[in-house]
């Protein structure tokens, strides 16, 4: 990738300020055939910090804000209400800015945050298109929209048995 200091990663966490799930517990071909993905997840909540009368403000809330700071590179009061449209607009604005920085020819050093908008456009009819000038991810021949292929690589190894008790 660009200057060998940027690598896309796949990160899974599902979190609101009341409940957190960290990990992945998909039940699909990749996770069940025993040769590819491993699946493990944990969930947690704080019974004395539920959003029954007021917003949840326990350690899960603090953890979410910490994750947002790590990935967005900043704190903002709008992040206190992630369900609010102002927050959504702010996060999208930051993600657009970071994509522009990431895809620029003059990027020096690291990005201020890690959250980038995926470089596609979606029409009101639901058609997915690449944005102008983004046929490939920067410094690669990897197509943003991917490509159709009839080739399916063989999967090595099979799980002999898998039992849930």
Long-range contacts for 133-140 (Cβ within 8 Å, ≥24 apart)? Answer: 134/103, 137/1, 137/8, 138/1, 138/2, 138/102, 138/103, 139/1, 139/2, 139/3, 140/1
Comparing 137 with 165, the larger pLDDT belongs to 137
- Is the pLDDT score of 162 beyond 70? no
pLDDT on residue 149: 79
pLDDT on residue 157: 52
Provide the whole-model pTM.
0.70
pLDDT classification of 163: cutoffs 50, 70, 90: very low
């Amino acid at each position: 990738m660009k200057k060998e200091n940027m690598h896309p990663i796949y990160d899974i966490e599902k979190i609101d300020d009341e409940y957190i799930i960290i990990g992945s517990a998909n039940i699909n071909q990749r996770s069940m055939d025993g040769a590819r993905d491993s699946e493990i997840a944990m969930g947690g909540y704080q019974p004395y910090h539920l959003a029954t009368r007021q917003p949840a403000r326990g350690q899960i809330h603090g953890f979410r804000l910490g994750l947002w700071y790590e990935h967005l590179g900043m704190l903002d009061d709008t992040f206190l209400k992630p369900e609010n449209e102002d927050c959504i607009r702010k996060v999208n604005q930051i993600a657009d800015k970071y994509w522009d920085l990431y895809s620029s020819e003059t990027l020096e050093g690291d990005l201020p945050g890690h959250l980038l908008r995926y470089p596609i456009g979606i029409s009101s009819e639901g058609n997915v298109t690449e944005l102008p000038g983004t046929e490939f991810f920067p410094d690669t021949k990897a197509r943003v929209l991917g490509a159709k292929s009839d080739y399916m690589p063989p999967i090595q190894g099979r799980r002999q048995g898998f039992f849930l008790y």
